[in-house]
Structure 1
Amino acid sequence: MAIPRLRSAIQWRRWAKSDCAIAAVGFAFIMLVLSFYLDFTSDPGSSVDRASPTASPDNLVKLTLSSKAKERGAFCLDGSLPGYHFQKGFGSGSGNWILHIEGGGWCNTAASCNSRAMTKLGSSKYFEREVPFGGILSSDPSQNPDFFDWNRVKIRYCDGTSFAGQPEAESKNQTRLFFRGQLIWEAIMEELISLGMWGAKQAFLTGCSAGGLAALIHCDNFKDLLPKDASVKCLVDGGFFLDELDVLKNPTMGSFYHDVVYLQSVAKSLDKNCIAKMEPSKCMFPKEIVKNVKTPVFLVNPAYDFWQIQNVLVPPIADPDQSWARCRLNIKECDAAQIKVLHGFRSSLLDALKEFQQKKDNGMFINSCFVHCQTWMSVTWHSPTSPRINNKTIAETVSDWYFDREAVKLIDCPYPCNPTCYNMDFTVS
């Protein structure tokens, strides 16, 4: 790792300032046409049961390929340069930074990583040259009241390990793939610091799904890179993945993470205290990671996360008779027995959150919706029809926590009690 070099660069810039004054065997389309995520299934498409917002040309943000990546050897799976989209802050927000890491599952074999390398989740050759900034990255104060004028960055995801892969793993698999997730993280951080993040007054590292897991893995490092007097916090959206048995009592997710960790030597990027106590792949699960994170963290997570229901609880291999076929695609199609199983999965989530909940600086918004990520779209982040708990949107709740207006640990009542939910429906073509 080249963190010492990065820290030296940061220290030099601080001195200069004072001196001068997921998962992956197939592809899944998740929400709208803004992004897609790899998972263990091959769902051809999805639709939602509400109207979705469209992007306008004036909120499109251009892609930047990292200028620091080549010298660091930080490459996407196919060897292309990683990238990000940056929109400069203004007014009172010009000294503040918010970063959002996009999601996209993981690859657990050389073959699945090779397939991924031929998509935008493994190669910048396929990145959109412009993307809309919505939700937590929106520049519209009506959609994003507290962060609209900050410096806003969307970090593209192209390594398949939540930015935790290590190059030392490349030789053992005898492939032409690049396992450089950790180096990508370091290169992009160095670049953003050179763009002004070294002087941040307030900073917020966020991410969705596998990007949320990346935000959690790198949360303390993010804080260490910034001024000691800066207010630095992290947010994990739809990224609290459970180490649960599927409905046939098989450890589908645990086995998958085991393969991910060993394929790309991810253990080197995980918490050393955890690695010393248990099998390394266990340390990739958020329940274990949060035990050692010192920086304040906020979790936005649905209790009925459709990605986890479809891939952790009821992966296709665990439903040979197709009895879950409709339910796993639309929670409204579940029968009473299936709803009971889903309530049990919710209970497992709440049990896994008990230790996290005890830390006074942490926050939570755990709603009862059949959805996955909720912060990157304005319709779920902050709009007249957004999901609410205690009559507050996710944006309002997160802001109350970030700015220390109040302690926030909200847990919704069980499905179907919340009429404000934005529920996905994959049964509509």
Structure 2
Amino acid sequence: MKSFLVISLFALLLPRCSRGFEYWNQTKLVDDGITDVGVPHFVPITLIGSAAAKGAVCMDGSLPGYHLDKGFGSGGNSWLVQLEGGGWCNDINSCLYRKKSRRGSSYYMEKQLQFSGILSNKPEENPDFYNWNRVKIRYCDGASFLGEGYDSAAGLFFRGQRIWLVSMEELMSKGMRYADQALLTGCSAGGLAAIHHCDEFRALFPGNIRVKCLADAGMFLDAIDVAGQRTLRHFFGGVVNLQGVARNLPRACTSRILPVLCFFPQNVLSSIQTPLFLLNTAYDVWQLQESLATKAADPHGYWIDCKMNNAKCNTGQIDFLQGFRNQMLLSVRKFSLSSKNGLFINSCFAHCQSERQDTWFGSNSLLLGTGESLNLSLIGTLTVFKSS
């Protein structure tokens, strides 16, 4: 059997998807409003004291951090490492703004963070990972853990790659070096980071250790917006150039095309050797609102209603969204042919599905076919680690 179960769900919108879309409209950031059942489980932050000497610091020069909930029992030697998401900054002003928040400084980070969804410690909510060593690495660099640079005039550190390296060193010293299986994951900008760092993660472990990656909502496409421009390519270009990302992108890619294009997952998937699972929607709401139908691309507001409620999209807008969906499918077609890889792409209007309890493992999670339950936890774990 394949080590990954390859699944694609390209049907009409499922009724169960609407709740996730409403949630997005209310909060904009998935990890800002995690819903949970029962008593919430909070995990304290740990700052990496050795990071400063290595220049592995947040944008303001503060120490990077992580939250670790130790595994036990059958999961004592299994590790799940999640890279936090939270957008990017592409110019000095946006990075200075980020510098004064938890996205750019550990001074503003929560001292405790709720673990839910794929990080939950409850077997009824997260049956396959609940007793693993579960880690959330905080995101405070603004370039998906890939930057390398410093702007002395603005006092901005772009040290994402160093934060990645020192975080891995820290976790290895905390027992991850003895792992018998390990999974690297992340959502949104963290999902993009999980794709780019997947092979580096694999290289930390001996060849006989089972290591795989899961990217949730990390398939950001180099797509044309409603005005005929490439908004996200322009934005990513600023991220790559300002933060010195090019040196940390695959040379197999940057030797052929512009570095900014290699920041897009669609152009690097073919070079990743480690088994990778993609969890994404064909109608990614973040990309719709922030790269396809932005205020700049839609100055007269024709897309406002459609962006906030897909039921209000007109025929032309639906055709445009179908075109985006088709581009998403095309971008992963070759990837899906590999027996070591896997994917689950659904038709929800959402962004990130592994961090929320109701979309990860809950009574309101997705269904395949007519009544056949296939929760995202099953897809993300049994097919990742337990297939032969």
TM-score scaled to structure 2, two decimals?
0.90
CA displacement, residues 198-245 of structure 1 (integer Å, 9 cap, x when unaligned)? 111000000000000111111100010112211000011001000011
Q: 1:357 maps to what in 2?
A: 336
Q: 1:281 maps to what in 2?
A: 260
Q: 1:118 to 1:29 in 2, by over 3 A?
A: farther
Aligned counterparts of 1:57 and 1:395: Cα–Cα separation in 2: 20
Q: Single out whichever of 89-98 and 329-338 deviates more from structure 2.
A: 329-338
Q: 2:20 maps to what in 1?
A: none
Aligned counterparts of 1:57 and 1:217: Cα–Cα separation in 2: 35
Taking only aligned residues, the RMSD between alpha carbons, in angstroms, comes to: 1.6
Aligned counterparts of 1:334 and 1:242: Cα–Cα separation in 2: 21
Q: 2:19 maps to what in 1?
A: none
Aligned counterparts of 1:380 and 1:132: Cα–Cα separation in 2: 16
% of aligned pairs identical? 46
Contact 1:68 1:190 in 2 (8 A): no
**Residue 28 of structure 2 aligns to which amino acid in structure 1?**
I
Aligned counterparts of 2:95 and 2:37: Cα–Cα separation in 1: 31
Contact 2:101 2:108 in 1 (8 A): yes
1:198-209 aligned at under 5 Å gives the runs 198-209=177-188
Query: SS of the counterpart of 2:368?
Result: coil
Query: SS of the counterpart of 1:259?
Result: helix
CA displacement, residues 361-386 of structure 1 (integer Å, 9 cap, x when unaligned)? 11111010011000011111010111
2:319 alignment partner, one of 336, 340, 347: 340
Aligned counterparts of 1:132 and 1:327: Cα–Cα separation in 2: 32
- Alignment of 1:312 onto 2:291: yes
2:28 alignment partner, one of 18, 30, 44: 30
Aligned counterparts of 1:363 and 1:404: Cα–Cα separation in 2: 13
Aligned counterparts of 2:112 and 2:312: Cα–Cα separation in 1: 37
- Structure 1 outlier segments of 4+, above 4 Å: 54-58
Q: Single out whichever of 54-63 and 298-307 deviates more from structure 2.
A: 54-63
Contact 1:367 1:389 in 2 (8 A): no
State the shift of 1:66 in Å.
1.0
CA displacement, residues 120-174 of structure 1 (integer Å, 9 cap, x when unaligned)? 111111101111111111111111111111000011100000000002x535xx3
1:139 alignment partner, one of 121, 127, 135: 121
1:14-163 aligned at under 5 Å gives the runs 29-31=27-29, 34-35=31-32, 53-54=35-36, 59-163=41-145
CA displacement, residues 298-354 of structure 1 (integer Å, 9 cap, x when unaligned)? 011011110011122111111111110111122122122211211111001001111
Structure with the greater relative contact order (CA < 8 A, sep ≥ 6): 1 or 2?
A: 2
1:234 alignment partner, one of 197, 213, 218: 213
**Residue 246 of structure 2 aligns to which amino acid in structure 1?**
A
Q: Which runs of 5+ in 2 are unaligned?
A: 1-25
**Residue 170 of structure 1 aligns to which amino acid in structure 2?**
D
CA displacement, residues 377-423 of structure 1 (integer Å, 9 cap, x when unaligned)? 111101011123343011111223212427xxxxxxxxxxxxxxxxx
Q: Which runs of 5+ in 1 are unaligned?
A: 1-27, 37-51, 407-429
State the shift of 1:175 in Å.
2.0
Q: 1:215 maps to what in 2?
A: 194
Query: SS of the counterpart of 1:400?
Result: helix
Aligned counterparts of 1:248 and 1:362: Cα–Cα separation in 2: 35
Q: Single out whichever of 330-339 and 184-193 deviates more from structure 2.
A: 330-339
- Alignment of 1:399 onto 2:381: yes
1:163-312 aligned at under 5 Å gives the runs 163-167=145-149, 169-170=150-151, 174-312=153-291
Contact 1:68 1:188 in 2 (8 A): no
State the shift of 1:67 in Å.
2.2
Query: SS of the counterpart of 2:308?
Result: coil
**Residue 64 of structure 2 aligns to which amino acid in structure 1?**
P
Aligned counterparts of 1:307 and 1:256: Cα–Cα separation in 2: 14
**Residue 381 of structure 2 aligns to which amino acid in structure 1?**
S
Q: Single out whichever of 178-187 and 354-363 deviates more from structure 2.
A: 354-363
Aligned counterparts of 2:162 and 2:354: Cα–Cα separation in 1: 26
Contact 1:388 1:394 in 2 (8 A): no
State the shift of 1:58 in Å.
5.3
Aligned counterparts of 2:93 and 2:38: Cα–Cα separation in 1: 38
**Residue 136 of structure 1 aligns to which amino acid in structure 2?**
I
Aligned counterparts of 1:389 and 1:69: Cα–Cα separation in 2: 45
Query: SS of the counterpart of 1:326?
Result: helix
2:363 alignment partner, one of 372, 376, 384: 384
**Residue 151 of structure 2 aligns to which amino acid in structure 1?**
E
Contact 1:103 1:210 in 2 (8 A): yes
Tell me the matched-pair count. Answer: 360
